[in-house]
Amino acid sequence: MIVKVLLLSIVLMAFVFLGFAISILLKKNGKFPEIHIGKNKALKERGIGCATTQDKMEHTKTRNAIQFKKLSLLDKELESL
């Protein structure tokens, strides 16, 4: 019973991969679809971006804000002298 289910699933997966390969070959450009969020036009139009890129941008903002706070505290100390 398990062998039949395993063989059936392998055959079905083979048909799926074959269909995907044929659809890529028959398309005009013959390329894989772009699924990365950062390069997807429809997601960019909706304002959706890559989580990794957004995280890096937020870290940079935070780092700059902390440096600004340190500088402003140092300036206040220098003014008091």
- The pLDDT value recorded for residue 59 is 83
How does pLDDT run across 29-65, given as a tens digit for each residue? Answer: 766 666 777 777 777 788 777 778 778 888 888 877 7
Rounded Cα distance, 10 and 1, in Å: 14
Reported as a pLDDT band with limits 50, 70 and 90, residue 17 is very high
Q: And the tokens for 7? A: 């063989």
Contact 34, 40 (CB under 8 A): yes
Q: Does the pLDDT of residue 24 top 90, yes or no? A: no
Helices assigned H by DSSP within 1-81 = 2-26, 41-45, 51-80
pTM of the model: 0.37
How does pLDDT run across 60-73, given as a tens digit for each residue? Answer: 888 777 766 666 66
